[in-house]
C-alpha cells in the first residue's frame, strides 16, 4: 500500500477558497473569537502529519490482527494503545468539544477535514475517537450540568472513550421495539437492564472507562418510539472526585467477526442493573440522540470518501509504476518493454471517476458542515432556522450518496490493480471491506433514501427541496457571465430541472400510490446527490478558473471538472427515467415467487 499523504492543498482549497471559512467564521457569534485562519492552518498541518506518520502505518497489521476477546475483555491490535495515548495527549479528542468543559471549540468545517485525514489513515482507529466525540456532543446538548462537569472533560481529553448503544437483537431500524428497561432509583438514577448489539467500541483497553449512551424504556413509557429515553451509563462507576471504581454491571458478551473494520471492536453489551442517569427529558431519548446523529451521519459519509481517497492514492501510484501493454497512440516508454498503465483510457476513466467523486465528496461534506456551524454558532434565529432545514434535507445525501460512491471508488481502485488488488498485502481489498459497512450502519442507505424522499421532500410538499433549488438557481444567476462556467451552468441547470421534475412527479404519484416513495427513493437520492455534486463542481470551477496560471493544481481541478460534467453528470437522465417508471414493475412479482 502506498504511504498515505494528507491532501492538504485540496482540503485548503475547498475550505478556504470555495466555502470561505474565514468569512463564515467571522460572521458567526460563536466562532469569531475562537478560530482564525492561522490556527486552522496549523491544525490541518499537524493533523496531516500525525495521521500519516502515527496512525496510517498501523492500518494493515491492525486489520490482520483484529481485536481480541477474552472473558469479557476486548484488546485492540498492537500499537493502538500507544498511538491512542499519543493522539489524545495532542488534544485531538476534544478538537470540536465545548471549551466550557475543556474542549477546543473548533467548528465542524475544520473538524470535517481532520476527520477525513483520521479515517483515511485507518477507519477502525478513527471510530474510537469520533464515537467519543459524538457521545460527548449529545451529553453537551442535553445532559444536566452535573453530568457535563463530571464526564465531558475526561472524554475531551481522551482519558475516557464513549459509545452509542441503540440496536438490540430484535430491533435495528425500528427502535420503537427496544426492550432495554430503565427502573427509577431513589437517588434519582436508574437501573438499566438489557442487551445491545453492534456497539462500536463498546469495550476496549484504550482507556480505563467507557461512557455508554443507552436507549431504554421506563416501566410506564408509551409504546413505540415515543417511549424511548436516553441514559448515560459508565462502564465503571465514577465517584464525586472523578475517580474510576468498580465495574457498573456493564459487560461485553462477545465481539462480532466482521467483513471489515476488524481493528474496531463491535460488541454485544449486557447491562444487568447498571446505574445510569437520564440525559434530556423522559421519553425524549430519540430527540437527544438525533442531536448527534446529523453529525454522526456526516461522519460516516466522511469515512467513506476518506477510504476512497486512500484507494485513489494507492491506485494512482500503481498506475504510474505498473507497465503493461502500449498506449493506443504508440509507445510512450520506448526504452521499456511496455508503458505504464496510466496511458490506457480505461485506467484513466477509473482514476478520474474516483478523483471526481472523492473531490466532490470533500466539497459536499464541507458544505454540509458549514450549515452545522451556522446552526450551532449563529445568533440569528432566521439563519439558524434555515441552516437546520438544510441540514435535515442534506444529511441523508451526505451519509448515503457519499458512501455509495465511496464503495464504487474503492472497488475501482482495486480494479486498477488487477489481480494484485485482490491480494491482501496491497491493501486495496481492505479498503473495500472497511468501506462496505458505511453503507449499512447509522441507518442503511436505503433507509436514508426513504427518509429523504418521504420525510424531507414529500411530507412537506417539497418546501425543503425548494431551499436547495433556490440556492443553486441563485448561484447560476450570479455566475451567468462567467465564461469558465458557460457550458457547465447549462448542464447544472438541466440537472436541476430533472431533479425538480422528479420531485414533482413523486409528490404527485403519492396521491394514488402508497409504494411511490419506496420505489423511487434510491434513484431519487442518487439524482439529488449527482445534481448536488454538479453544484459543488461548479463552485469549485468558479474559484479555480481565475488561478489556472498560478498553479497547476487549479488547471488540474478544471480538467477533473470537465470529466465530471461530460461523463458523470449525464447520469441524471437515466435516473429521472427510472423514477418516472413508477412502482408497478417493482411491486408486480408476488412475494412467494421471489
Measured over the CA atoms of residue 507, residue 508, residue 509 and residue 511, the dihedral's sign is positive
CA distance 403 to 307: 10
Q: What is the DSSP secondary structure assignment for residue 159, as one 8-state letter? A: S
Whether 359 is catalytic: no
Q: What is the DSSP secondary structure assignment for residue 260, as one 8-state letter? A: S
- CA trace torsion 311, 125, 57, 436 (10° rounding): -20
In 3D space, the residue among 302, 344, 312 whose CA is nearest the CA of residue 428 turns out to be: 312
The CA–CA distances, whole Å, from 198 to 232, 261, 333, 342 equal 18, 12, 52, 41
The answer to whether residues 212 and 202 touch, using CB atoms and an 8 Å cutoff, is yes
Residues 457, 365, 496, CA angle at the centre, nearest 5°? 45
CA distance 81 to 61: 14
C-alpha cell at 126: 478513527
* Range 8-42 burial, b when 16+ CB lie within 10 A, else e: bebbbbbbbbbbebeebbeebebbeeebeeeebee
The answer to whether residues 113 and 44 touch, using CB atoms and an 8 Å cutoff, is yes
Q: What are phi and psi of 487, to 5 degrees?
A: -70, -30
- CA trace torsion 381, 387, 393, 399 (10° rounding): -140
The answer to whether residues 507 and 465 touch, using CB atoms and an 8 Å cutoff, is no
DSSP reduced 3-state for 278: strand
C-alpha cell at 438: 458505511
- Residues pairing with 214 in the sheet: 165, 231
β-pairing verdict for 161-165 and 210-216: parallel
DSSP reduced 3-state for 494: helix
First-last CA distance in the chain: 42
CA distance 393 to 387: 10
In 3D space, the residue among 276, 268, 267 whose CA is nearest the CA of residue 248 turns out to be: 276
The answer to whether residues 249 and 274 touch, using CB atoms and an 8 Å cutoff, is yes
Say which of 442, 523, 577, 590 is annotated catalytic: 442
The answer to whether residues 530 and 569 touch, using CB atoms and an 8 Å cutoff, is yes
CA distance 547 to 556: 11
The residues annotated with a catalytic role in the active site are: 442
Amino acid at each position: 500500500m502506498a504511504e498515505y499523504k494528507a491532501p492538504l492543498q485540496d482540503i485548503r482549497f475547498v475550505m478556504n477558497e470555495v466555502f470561505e471559512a474565514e468569512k463564515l467564521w467571522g460572521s458567526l457569534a460563536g466562532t469569531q473569537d475562537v478560530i482564525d485562519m492561522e490556527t486552522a492552518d496549523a491544525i490541518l498541518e499537524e493533523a496531516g502529519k500525525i495521521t500519516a506518520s502515527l496512525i496510517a502505518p498501523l492500518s494493515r497489521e491492525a486489520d490482520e490482527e483484529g481485536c481480541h476477546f477474552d472473558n469479557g475483555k476486548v484488546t485492540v491490535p498492537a500499537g493502538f494503545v500507544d498511538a491512542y495515548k499519543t493522539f489524545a495527549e495532542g488534544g485531538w479528542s476534544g478538537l470540536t468539544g465545548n471549551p466550557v468543559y475543556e474542549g477546543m471549540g473548533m467548528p465542524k468545517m475544520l473538524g470535517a477535514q481532520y476527520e477525513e485525514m483520521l479515517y483515511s489513515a485507518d477507519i477502525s482507529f478513527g471510530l474510537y475517537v469520533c464515537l467519543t466525540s459524538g457521545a460527548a456532543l449529545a451529553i453537551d446538548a442535553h445532559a444536566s450540568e452535573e453530568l457535563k462537569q463530571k464526564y465531558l472533560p475526561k472524554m475531551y481529553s481522551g482519558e475516557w472513550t464513549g459509545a452509542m448503544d441503540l440496536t438490540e437483537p430484535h430491533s435495528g431500524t425500528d427502535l420503537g421495539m427496544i426492550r432495554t428497561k430503565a427502573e427509577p432509583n431513589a437517588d434519582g438514577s436508574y437501573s438499566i437492564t438489557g442487551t445491545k448489539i453492534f456497539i462500536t467500541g463498546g469495550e476496549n483497553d484504550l482507556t480505563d472507562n467507557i461512557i455508554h449512551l443507552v436507549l431504554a424504556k421506563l416501566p410506564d413509557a408509551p409504546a413505540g418510539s415515543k417511549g424511548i429515553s436516553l441514559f448515560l451509563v459508565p462502564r465503571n462507576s465514577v465517584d464525586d472526585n472523578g475517580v474510576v471504581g468498580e465495574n457498573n454491571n456493564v459487560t461485553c458478551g462477545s465481539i462480532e467477526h466482521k467483513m471489515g473494520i476488524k481493528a474496531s471492536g463491535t460488541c454485544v453489551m449486557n447491562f444487568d442493573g447498571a446505574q445510569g442517569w437520564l440525559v434530556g427529558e423522559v421519553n425524549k431519548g430519540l430527540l437527544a440522540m438525533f442531536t448527534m446523529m446529523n453529525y454522526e451521519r456526516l461522519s460516516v459519509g466522511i469515512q467513506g470518501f476518506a477510504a476512497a481517497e486512500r484507494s485513489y492514492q494507492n491506485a494512482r501510484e500503481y498506475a504510474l509504476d505498473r507497465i503493461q501493454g502500449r498506449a493506443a497512440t504508440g509507445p510512450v516508454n520506448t526504452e521499456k518493454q511496455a508503458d505504464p498503465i496510466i496511458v490506457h483510457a480505461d485506467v484513466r476513466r477509473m482514476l478520474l471517476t474516483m478523483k471526481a467523486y472523492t473531490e466532490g465528496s470533500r466539497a459536499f461534506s464541507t458544505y454540509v458542515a458549514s450549515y452545522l456551524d451556522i446552526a450551532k454558532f449563529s445568533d440569528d434565529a432566521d439563519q439558524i432556522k434555515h441552516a437546520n432545514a438544510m441540514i435535515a434535507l442534506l444529511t441523508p445525501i451526505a451519509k448515503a450518496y457519499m458512501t455509495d460512491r465511496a464503495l464504487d471508488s474503492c472497488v475501482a481502485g482495486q480494479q486498477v490493480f488487477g489481480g494484485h488488488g485482490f491480494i491482501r498485502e496491497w491493501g486495496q481489498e481492505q479498503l473495500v471491506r472497511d468501506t462496505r459497512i458505511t453503507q449499512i450502519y447509522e441507518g442503511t442507505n436505503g433507509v436514508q433514501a426513504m427518509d429523504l424522499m418521504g420525510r424531507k421532500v414529500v411530507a412537506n410538499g417539497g418546501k425543503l427541496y425548494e431551499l436547495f433549488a433556490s440556492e443553486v438557481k441563485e448561484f447560476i444567476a450570479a455566475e451567468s457571465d462567467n465564461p469558465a462556467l458557460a457550458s457547465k451552468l447549462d448542464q447544472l441547470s438541466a440537472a436541476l430541472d430533472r431533479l425538480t421534475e422528479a420531485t414533482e412527479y413523486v409528490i404527485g404519484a403519492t396521491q394514488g400510490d402508497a409504494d411511490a416513495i419506496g420505489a423511487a427513493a434510491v434513484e431519487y437520492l442518487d439524482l439529488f446527490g449527482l445534481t448536488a455534486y454538479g453544484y459543488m463542481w461548479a463552485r469549485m470551477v468558479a474559484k479555480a478558473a481565475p488561478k489556472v496560471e498560478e498553479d497547476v493544481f487549479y488547471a488540474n481541478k478544471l480538467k477533473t471538472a470537465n470529466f465530471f460534467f461530460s461523463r458523470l453528470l449525464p447520469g441524471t437522465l437515466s435516473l429521472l427515467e427510472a423514477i418516472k417508471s413508477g412502482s408497478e414493475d417493482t411491486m408486480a412479482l408476488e412475494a412467494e415467487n421471489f
